[in-house]
């Protein structure tokens, strides 16, 4: 188990990725040896190194944007093979474009083409071999959950959904002996707190998740210490849930969980670097998309009456209001009758060009002006309207904590959860937003920006 930016990543996933890199290097080297032996030329190690880097980057990007690094799709099926072929085709087109635009001895079709095809075949074969090895070697860490409350069940459900993490839940321990054999999710209650050490030995447990309330006299301290002395690793339930899911468990969250969180402590350098990153990304997007901005403005005017831009008051950092800028995607005065409501799927108020902009998220582009003005960061919780803030603050615990940072054009909730249109959706998104605030960093922001590009490209999660 590896922890990166407070997320649990499967160790076998690292082996999986590194092996693919190795196969690419082998392909490039084999192609270079073949090419140079036929021409009687001397092998250039530096050239082979650069070719391997370029080819690895192309493959990684192409696979990433086709969801081929999401191990939850394992084992591969027919659709997986189709995505793999599509990714290979895209990678080849990108390489062909580079060869055409930047002709050089390093990017030479004669030496790179065999490497591309060989890499493609080796990686495809390796992925199916990897699945076979997982089944044969049974590389799983066996998890025992101490407790049967809400967080215990949530941990079990997340582990069942994320089989690629390599954990197997063997069962639960409960205080009450009368509950033995009762099924909670899929694993059953297989013992009581007092049976901890014997269950650990019998089930060959690697880790114990403590997901029981820490009430005085309720936890089996003697059993816990005895099992720890045997080398068993113990993990706190809430923290483990956050690491595997990327969100907080609001129902079990205590104020101390936020009081001691590092993300709420914002140093001068952290603020400056986040601001600098937001400005640079916004300027880059503005320059690259400038022709698109002009075209969208014309299409909006031609499609319906009303202004090009839509200004709406939103709640920002520390609860301060600001005017959010967007391309208008609805009919003029859309809320004159309905009042403030969440946008719905197939919303009749949305214009034709507005629907297209929402699918591609292009209606959000003018918000780069809000970032440049300092009202927003590029990454952060999405800004909400004061009408909904008042409602949600009364119904959802810790909702006001999302205003500890500036709102963002994109955020952790946006790349993990589809567009929300209810209190329950807002609650689920808050789980992700508070996780982001607790673990905020520049590297985290860059990861979210990278994932946002993928979501925009495929038009996911929009309304």
Summarised one tens digit per residue, pLDDT across range 171-184 is 999 988 888 888 88
Q: Is the pLDDT of residue 345 over 70?
A: no
Confidence of residue 170 (pLDDT cuts 50, 70, 90): very high
Please, which pLDDT band fits residue 461 given cuts at 50, 70 and 90?
Answer: very low
Render pLDDT for 31-46 as a digit per residue (tens, 0 to 9): 878 766 655 555 667 7
In the prediction, which pLDDT does 260 show?
66
Please give the pLDDT value at position 146. Answer: 94
Length of the chain: 463
SS (H, E, C) the chain: CEEECCEEECHHHHHHHHHHHHHHHHHHHHHHHHHHHHHCCCCCHHHHHHHHHHHHHHHHHHHHCCCCCCHHHCCCCHHHHHHHHHHHHHHHHHHHHHHHHCCCCCCCHHHHHHHHHHHHHHHHHHHHHHHHHHHHHCCCEEEEEECCCHHHHHHHHHHHHCHHHCEEEEEEEECCHHHCCCECCCCEEEEEHHHHHHHHHHCCCCEEEECCCCCCCCCCHHHHHHHHHCCCEEEEHHHHHHHHHCCCCHHHCCHHHHHCCHHHCCCHHHHHHHHHHHHHHHHHHHHHCHHHHHHHHHHHHHHCCCCCEEEEEEECHHHCEEEEEEECCECCCCHHHHCCCCCCCCCCCECHHHHHHHHHCHHHCCHHHHHHHCCCEEECCCCECHHHHHHHHHHCCCHHHHHHCCCEEECHHHHHCCCCCCHHHHHHHHHHHHHHHHCCCHHHHHHHHHHHHHHHHHCCCCC
The answer, yes or no, to whether residue 215 has pLDDT greater than 60, is no
The per-residue pLDDT for range 371-391, each reduced to its tens digit, is 999 999 999 999 999 988 998
Measured distance CA(146)–CA(171) in Å, rounded: 9
- 253-265 per-position pLDDT tens digit: 777 667 666 666 6
pLDDT category at 212 given cuts 50, 70, 90 is confident
Cis geometry, peptide bond prior to residue 75 (ω within 30 degrees of 0): yes
pLDDT of residue 356: 85
Residue 370: pLDDT above 70? yes
Who has greater pLDDT, 435 or 11? 435
pLDDT at 75: 59
How far is 410 from 361, CA to CA, in rounded Å?
A: 10
Both structure tokens of 401: 């904590």
Euclidean distance between CA atoms 169 and 182, whole angstroms: 15
- Residue 29 banded pLDDT, cuts 50, 70, 90: confident
Q: How far apart are CA 232 and CA 439, in angstroms?
A: 27
CA 341 → CA 311, 399, 423, distances in Å?
Answer: 16, 19, 12
CA dist 86 and 88 (Å) reads 5
The beta-carbon contacts of 316-322 under 8 Å, at least 24 apart in sequence, are 316/375, 316/376, 316/383, 316/403, 316/406, 316/407, 317/403, 317/404, 317/405, 317/406, 317/407, 318/403, 318/404, 319/389, 319/400, 319/403, 321/386, 322/370, 322/375, 322/376, 322/383
The C-alpha atoms of residue 83 and residue 313 are separated, in whole angstroms, by 42
Instruction: Report the C-alpha gap between 289 and 456 in whole angstroms.
Output: 13
Rg (CA), the chain: 26
**pLDDT tops 90 at residue 347:** no
Res. 414: pLDDT tops 60? yes
Confidence band, pLDDT 50/70/90 cuts, at residue 335: low
Q: Label residue 339 by pLDDT band (50, 70, 90).
A: low
Q: Could you tell me the domains of the chain? A: 2-137 (no CATH), 141-245 (3.40.50.720), 264-458 (no CATH)
Determine which of 219-223, 367-371, 382-386 has the lowest per-residue pLDDT on average: 219-223
- Give the whole-number percent of the chain exceeding pLDDT 70: 82
pLDDT over 90 for what percent of the chain?
Answer: 28
Across the range 130-142, mean pLDDT stands at: 75
Q: Which of 408, 416, 407, 409 is nearest to 455 (CA)?
A: 416
Average pLDDT for 261-273: 74
Neighbours of 369 (CB within 10 A): 15
Q: Say what the pLDDT of residue 293 is.
A: 92
């Amino acid at each position: 188990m590896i922890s990166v930016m407070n997320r649990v990543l499967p160790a076998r996933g690292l082996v999986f990725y590194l092996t693919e890199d190795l196969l690419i290097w082998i392909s490039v080297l084999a192609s270079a040896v073949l090419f140079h032996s036929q021409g009687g030329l001397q092998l250039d190690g530096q050239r082979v190194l650069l070719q391997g880097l370029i080819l690895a980057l192309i493959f990684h990007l192409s696979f990433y944007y086709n969801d081929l690094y999401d191990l939850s799709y394992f084992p591969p099926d027919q659709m997986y093979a189709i995505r793999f072929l599509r990714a290979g085709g895209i990678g080849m087109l990108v390489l062909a474009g580079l060869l055409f635009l930047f002709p050089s001895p390093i990017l030479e079709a004669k030496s790179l083409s065999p490497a591309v095809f060989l890499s493609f075949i080796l990686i495809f074969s390796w992925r199916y071999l990897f699945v076979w090895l997982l089944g044969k070697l049974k590389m799983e860490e066996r998890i025992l959950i101490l407790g049967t409350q809400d967080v215990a069940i949530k941990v079990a459900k997340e582990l069942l959904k994320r089989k690629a993490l390599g954990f197997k839940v063997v069962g639960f321990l409960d205080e009450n002996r009368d509950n033995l054999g009762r099924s909670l999710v899929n694993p059953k209650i297989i013992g009581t707190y007092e049976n901890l050490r014997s269950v650990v030995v019998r089930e060959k447990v690697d880790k114990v998740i403590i997901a029981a309330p820490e009430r005085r006299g309720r936890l089996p301290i003697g059993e816990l210490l005895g099992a720890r002395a045997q080398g068993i690793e113990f993990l706190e339930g809430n923290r483990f849930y956050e690491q595997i899911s990327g969100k907080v468990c609001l129902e079990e969250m205590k104020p101390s969980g936020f009081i001691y969180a590092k993300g709420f402590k914002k140093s001068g350098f952290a603020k400056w670097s986040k601001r600098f990153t937001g400005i640079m990304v916004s300027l880059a997007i503005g320059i690259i998309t400038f022709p698109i901005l002009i075209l969208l403005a014309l299409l909006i005017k031609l499609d319906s009456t009303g202004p090009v831009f839509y200004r709406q008051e939103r709640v920002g950092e520390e609860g301060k209001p600001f005017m959010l800028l967007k391309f208008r995607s609805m009919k003029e005065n859309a809320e004159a009758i309905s009042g403030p409501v969440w946008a719905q799927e197939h919303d009749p108020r949305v214009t034709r060009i507005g629907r297209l902009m929402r699918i591609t998220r292009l209606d959000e582009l003018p918000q780069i002006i809000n970032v440049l003005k300092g009202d927003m960061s590029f990454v952060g919780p999405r800004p909400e309207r004061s009408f909904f803030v008042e409602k949600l603050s009364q119904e959802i615990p810790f909702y006001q904590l999302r205003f500890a940072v500036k709102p963002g054009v994109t955020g952790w909730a946006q790349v993990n959860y589809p567009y929300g249109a209810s209190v329950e959706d807002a609650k689920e998104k808050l789980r992700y937003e508070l996780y982001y605030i607790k673990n905020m960093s520049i590297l985290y922001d860059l990861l979210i920006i990278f994932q946002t590009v993928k979501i925009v490209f495929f038009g996911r999660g929009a309304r």
